[in-house]
Structure 1
């Protein structure tokens, strides 16, 4: 009996040992999975907005090219294979188009910048007296084209920075990270983003079915016969979604005292006005001294208003986005680039905004160029996201 009990105990002990070993093996895997948590999407946007703010402080094409190269390198190293990550190419094409249109307007409509180096002359169209100050055609100088190219490149750099944020930050995760005061807005936008692909899929499916049946899928008749089933399906999904959201308490708010509501409204409106005034100050040369403090005060007031407004939406968040050390480093690198180039524009405005009269090639200032280097920090400190094989695609 003892030997039989011992024989039965050995497999059980073996299974226990194997179970313990399996648990010990699974624990590091779980820890590794937790260490691979994706970066908070708000950090990418703060980084890109910092680069965009830095781009507004200079018209030096060499510094702008460095900013765009830094943003492009980070996108190339950390862009995922998701469909929304392909938007960077569209933003790059839009930036090139903006630069070309800016130069074309200068060629056709002229420029207020005087120039002595005439490249070519277009036939000038005479205009009535009430259109004085506007010119169609005429001489085109190198100074005017260079001035237009500098300003067009600044706008192109802004588009590149915004495109980098769109390619790196998942829009659905960003909307889910909105504060509680913007909960309903975020849910509405998420629903809209979810429904748009369904509509496109319905149109493609119905057109393919009509082609298989030999019926027309183009023209006004095809559009009407395809559009009605698509709208009917969208209406059915909307009714089902509305019922599901109502069952889950969407739109219901908590009771908040009247003084808290008034304080929330004052802080939010005052903060938004401060953000607008501070942004205007940063974009203009005259407001460089007060722009940044007013912007920071407006952001602080708006965040406080959103924090108080979140009391009306007492909801828990499913899988909240973590804001860790990597997010602080990414957001801080963008803020550092913006602060350093803003300081450089105040101390040495000639280097960051080269003149075009007299005509001269732009030079690369050393320490403002070195101030762009922190923009590359996310490429080295942020781990690349690896898809989890256990999660559905």
Structure 2
């Protein structure tokens, strides 16, 4: 029996994407990073709707490719002069001399295979993280995501809605402006054509985001509610202490030389204080949600797949460092566990239901063919 089409909870999509991004942050293996990008692409292709924000997927892919190319160029431009005699020289570029006061910086010089591979690994890692974030933006409804915010964050809902919806609105504006310019002639020069295209796109995207923020403000977002000065100070102290604890705990977890008492205990304490501050701030905000988004077993499965991928990346970085961080002098290897940790991220392509708008478009496209066949 076919399942009913519905939009998955946006928080589930973000948890899945954060898990994949955590895996990418724990590995510099190019095969693993390319597999993560492929997994995100398959899931987005299978479960992307026809909403305007789904068009940002191409922008994030282009951004990731630009990051890889830029990282390689920087390695060649500033890292070519640091070749080791044992490295394999690919291109011997002339080194540009610099003044003596510019210590530690060299321009061009011999480009080695190890330098190029190191830049490629770094660029792929950052590019894979950007692709994972782009997958969440292409799959999750930003308006429904903001509606799912805790009550304590309603006060900054207006600023968040402008920040989150600018890129999706820009993608929709690009499509609308491009279609409008095809209908009329204009300046054929490259600079003039770019100005005629970019100015309306930016203006339209910002105006639509501000209009949405104004509508949210009229419906209660951005209101501070009733609270005394003492309550505000107490809530701010909890949130600030929680933020400091989280920062210290994360730094201690990542730094192996830091005392262990500042790692997990401080991180747990910071998260606890932040939770207390959010709960205290949310009590003074009374908001109702019309038809809240349901959380069913599909959402749990999608979020669990992302969590499993993040845990697999953490285990790989701790117990198989040569697989997660291969040397540039050796061919990177992929173990069965590393492969399974990436492929578990494909679960949303099967588990998640088909988006509602995409299902309706499919029914409209198949309708006329059915009538003709009859």
The TM-score with structure 2 as length reference comes to 0.75
Per-residue deviation at 1:166? 0.6
- CA distance in structure 1 between the partners assigned to 2:71 and 2:91 by the alignment: 18
- CA distance in structure 2 between the partners assigned to 1:349 and 1:191 by the alignment: 41
Gaps of 5+ in 1: 1-31, 213-217
Q: Between Structure 1 and Structure 2, how many residues are aligned?
A: 336
**SS of aligned partner of 2:307:** helix
Per-residue deviation at 1:346? 0.8
Alignment partner of 1:314 is 2:283: no
- CA distance in structure 2 between the partners assigned to 1:77 and 1:293 by the alignment: 41
Alignment partner of 1:305 is 2:277: yes
Match of 1:340 among 298, 312, 315: 312
**SS of aligned partner of 1:384:** coil
- Equivalent in the alignment of 2:124: 153
Per-residue deviation at 1:152? 0.9
Per-residue deviation at 1:301? 3.8
Per-residue deviation at 1:106? 0.9
Per-residue deviation at 1:319? 2.3
Using a 3 Å threshold, how does the CA distance of structure 1 residues 286 and 104 change in structure 2: closer, same or farther?
A: farther
Per-residue deviation at 1:294? 5.5
What CA deviation, in whole Å up to 9, does each residue of 1:27-63 have, x standing for no partner? xxxxx87xx5421111111111111111111111111
The TM-score with structure 1 as length reference comes to 0.72
Alignment partner of 1:93 is 2:65: no
Alignment partner of 1:52 is 2:43: no
- CA distance in structure 2 between the partners assigned to 1:322 and 1:360 by the alignment: 49
Structure 1 range deviating more: 271-280 or 93-102? 271-280
- Equivalent in the alignment of 1:84: 53
Contact 1:95 1:156 in 2 (8 A): yes
- CA distance in structure 2 between the partners assigned to 1:54 and 1:162 by the alignment: 13
- Equivalent in the alignment of 1:132: 103
- CA distance in structure 2 between the partners assigned to 1:131 and 1:109 by the alignment: 12
- CA distance in structure 1 between the partners assigned to 2:7 and 2:25 by the alignment: 30
Contact 2:75 2:115 in 1 (8 A): yes
Alignment partner of 1:163 is 2:134: yes
* 1:1-393 to 2 correspondences below 5 Å: 36-110=5-79, 114=84, 115-190=86-161, 193=165, 252-256=223-227, 261-280=232-251, 298-356=270-328, 359-387=329-357
**SS of aligned partner of 1:130:** coil
Per-residue deviation at 1:372? 1.6
Per-residue deviation at 1:250? 5.8
- Equivalent in the alignment of 1:21: none
Gaps of 5+ in 2: 186-190, 361-374
Per-residue deviation at 1:174? 1.1
Contact 2:72 2:116 in 1 (8 A): yes
Contact 2:154 2:221 in 1 (8 A): no
Per-residue deviation at 1:263? 4.4
Contact 2:9 2:294 in 1 (8 A): yes
Contact 1:256 1:311 in 2 (8 A): no
Per-residue deviation at 1:373? 2.1
Per-residue deviation at 1:247? 7.2
- CA distance in structure 2 between the partners assigned to 1:130 and 1:136 by the alignment: 14
- CA distance in structure 2 between the partners assigned to 1:375 and 1:293 by the alignment: 30
**SS of aligned partner of 2:111:** strand
Using a 3 Å threshold, how does the CA distance of structure 1 residues 58 and 165 change in structure 2: closer, same or farther?
A: same
Contact 1:44 1:330 in 2 (8 A): yes
Q: Rg bigger for which structure?
A: 1
What CA deviation, in whole Å up to 9, does each residue of 1:185-214 have, x standing for no partner? 2234446859x78xx79x97xx99xx99xx
Per-residue deviation at 1:315? 1.7
Using a 3 Å threshold, how does the CA distance of structure 1 residues 191 and 345 change in structure 2: closer, same or farther?
A: closer
**SS of aligned partner of 2:93:** strand
Per-residue deviation at 1:322? 2.1
Q: CA RMSD in A?
A: 4.0
